[in-house]
Structure 1
Amino acid sequence: MSLHNVPIFDAEVLLECQNNLGEGILWDSKTQLLHWVDIFNSQLHSYDPKEKTYSIDKYLNSKCLTYITPKLNDENFLGTFEGNLIELPKPTKPFEFIENSNSNLINKKIKINQKNYLKIISEPLNKELVLNETIRFNDGGVDPIGRVFFGSMGQNEKVPKFPGELWQIDLDGKETKILDEVGVSNGLGFSSDGKKMYYIDSRKDQIDIFDYDLLTGKPTNRRKFASSPPPLDKENPTEGVYDGLCLDGIGNIWVARWRNGRVIGFNSNGDIIAMITVKGSKGATIPCFGGPNLETMYIATASSYLGGEGDSEKYPNSGDLYSIGFGPDSPIRKVLGDNWKGAERYRAGI
């Protein structure tokens, strides 16, 4: 007997990049490139799915690069190191040809480009807590007019105290603390009309929703949007926590389930509409939509923090990049309907 009637689809490995902690994935429609970070290697990865070329930029000034977003008015990016929001130069254009996109890149001599950040934009965290590794920045998001949200986390997730914070920087550079007592600040996104903000603190294993005032940038009326999901099947119980998220063009929310090897799709009412597996990987971290028509979902994963003994053998593709088509003839499109469309993340306006 089935545990649920939610349709399940399988994403496929696109690149065997074996990231330690792949995160922050996004599509840049201006360049038609995919970008993501490998947090603890302080790397920005770029991939051109049309040309099948690849590049890696490594930032020398930080122990980690946790989040990236393209800027609205130029080719640079914003990002977060462990303790600050910084401006990064334009990512290196992918140039390493990957003949077979699913070949193992660990065995290839991919050139790593050494880079430095351009400037520090904000340093709102307690510097002592950053230096002693109590806290660091993690994920972020951008609202429809370009305000940037960037959140921190407690590095020891076993302690009861929640030392993280969620910060916002406005278009005029004004910094505002939006939340404190955050465990692990993670996925954040906005409805297309800008009236709702979705947010995940992974220590709470739920998705929250706020009313959002686009004029002032103030979220209010926080409440639970979704609880932990049902098991995938009898062999795959519900484990892990919610991680990164993205929204499509009709208001559905797609959320990675960390340490549970799947992405879960919700409609705006909070009902689960589909689940996408990343077989061979336990650490799904964050999805995004991309491709020429925004009809491909890309999913970053991690090889770190797998958990139980033998997990590395059981999940050999943890850390790889996955994709699944949402085109008109795809199986998942038959569930979502003819009017479905993808959406790109918003760009930073600061």
Structure 2
Amino acid sequence: MAPHNIPIFDAEVLLKCQNTLGEGVVWDSTTQLLHWVDIFASTLHSYNPLTGAHSVDKYPSKCLTYITPRVSNKAFLGTFEGSLVELPEPTIPTELTPKPTINEKQPTKVISEPLNEGLVKDETIRFNDGGVDPKGRVFVGSMGQDETAEVYPGELWRYDLDRTKTKILDNVGVSNGLGFSPDGKLMYYIDSRKDRIDVFDYDLSTGTPSNRRVFASSPPALDDQHPTEGVYDGLCLDGVGNVWVARWRNGRVVGINPQGEIIAMIRVDGSKGATIPCFGGPNLETMYITTASSTQGGPGDADKYPNSGDLFSIDFGPDSPIRKVLGEGWKGAERYRAGI
């Protein structure tokens, strides 16, 4: 029995891909394909929900941490451990297997290397998550690789449409979820060393966040068998301004309305570490959720969490149980595409 009256729904395993650290999931409406990364494998996964076909592109870096489609062409942007890079168009998925042929790829261009070279080389810091604002500006954040260190060496950078870069934040522990309200007036942000979601007022004309404050603190226990653990990780927003955020090492996604109230929780049963959700599908009425191996971030239990690292999904369509809670006016939203 849950110690609260928040409705709980269950996502289902969509693809048994067994990623080590699945992250960065994004829907591309122009191709109707889903993409995500397995960070430490430095791979970009592509999946066709209509056919079940799957492809994997591997890059020669220590990690591939974030990806985003672009407005101008079929190339993607991505972040390696210390650089923002241009990636070629992902391989079109054709193989009907969770472990398809690995395609060796090279980045087509290094766009920027804003992080301290020495700190990247000695693995003190690396890039992690990112996001795109409604104008196409790209935000990329870094993290300290020792997540127990007292010093927070991470940063958050913004790239304007002319590729001018600006440091927005420093003293960041683990730069994670980042997203914008439908009207572009609010920016939500997570530093996972702090167990909370922050919100900024956002000036869309200049790309400037201000007036940082706490939007939501840690959630209640999922149920009697699943106490509150972990921290907030990646997030996305739907088309009515609700924030959907993965709970790292706590096996769930938490839905929060614009007033900061929890409206629903989604269980990823059999997985310890949900990492980030996104909306996709023909009508943006499917939520996709990446997960990490149960060994990531602490002791693992593969027997207890056999689906850790798999790709999950849950239906948000008109007849779905969760839609009955959200109401008839609900709609999904696609992540913004990079304009640089």
Q: Could you tell me the TM-score, scaled by structure 1's length? A: 0.96
Aligned length: 340
> Aligned residue for 2:17?
17
Query: How far apart, CA to CA, are the structure 2 residues paired with 1:181 and 1:8?
Result: 35
Matched, 1:325 2:325: no
Kindly provide the amino acid, as one letter, of the partner of residue 247 in structure 1.
Answer: L
Write the deviation string for residues 2-34 of structure 1: whole angstroms up to 9, x where unpaired: 411100000000000000000000000000000
Aligned pair partner of 2:226 in 215, 236, 241 = 236
1:243-262 alignment runs, 5 A limit? 243-262=233-252
Aligned-pair CA distance for 1:80: 0.2
1:1-350 alignment runs, 5 A limit? 2-60=2-60, 62-98=61-97, 105=98, 108=99, 110-303=100-293, 305-306=295-296, 311-350=301-340
Unaligned runs of 5+ in 2: none
Query: Identity percentage over the alignment?
Result: 74
Query: How far apart, CA to CA, are the structure 2 residues paired with 1:128 and 1:51?
Result: 45
Query: How far apart, CA to CA, are the structure 1 residues paired with 2:54 and 2:12?
Result: 18
Q: Secondary structure at the match of 2:303?
A: helix
Q: Secondary structure at the match of 1:20?
A: coil
Query: How far apart, CA to CA, are the structure 1 residues paired with 2:221 and 2:137?
Result: 36
Q: Secondary structure at the match of 2:63?
A: coil
Assess if the C-alpha contact under 8 Å between 1:146 and 1:347 holds in 2.
Answer: yes
Unaligned runs of 5+ in 1: 99-104
Q: 1:72 to 1:313 in 2, by over 3 A?
A: same
Assess if the C-alpha contact under 8 Å between 2:244 and 2:277 holds in 1.
Answer: yes
Assess if the C-alpha contact under 8 Å between 2:20 and 2:296 holds in 1.
Answer: no
Q: Secondary structure at the match of 2:157?
A: strand
Query: How far apart, CA to CA, are the structure 2 residues paired with 1:56 and 1:287?
Result: 20
Aligned-pair CA distance for 1:305: 3.4
Query: How far apart, CA to CA, are the structure 2 residues paired with 1:112 and 1:136?
Result: 24
Kindly provide the amino acid, as one letter, of the partner of residue 11 in structure 2.
Answer: A
Query: How far apart, CA to CA, are the structure 2 residues paired with 1:57 and 1:163?
Result: 30
Assess if the C-alpha contact under 8 Å between 1:21 and 1:304 holds in 2.
Answer: no
Q: 1:307 to 1:218 in 2, by over 3 A?
A: closer
Aligned-pair CA distance for 1:234: 1.2
Q: 1:313 to 1:306 in 2, by over 3 A?
A: farther
Assess if the C-alpha contact under 8 Å between 1:139 and 1:152 holds in 2.
Answer: yes
Alpha-carbon RMSD: 1.0
Query: How far apart, CA to CA, are the structure 2 residues paired with 1:243 and 1:69?
Result: 18
Kindly provide the amino acid, as one letter, of the partner of residue 302 in structure 2.
Answer: S
Aligned-pair CA distance for 1:322: 0.1
**Structure 1 segments of 4+ aligned residues over 4 angstroms from their partners:** 306-310
Assess if the C-alpha contact under 8 Å between 2:294 and 2:300 holds in 1.
Answer: no
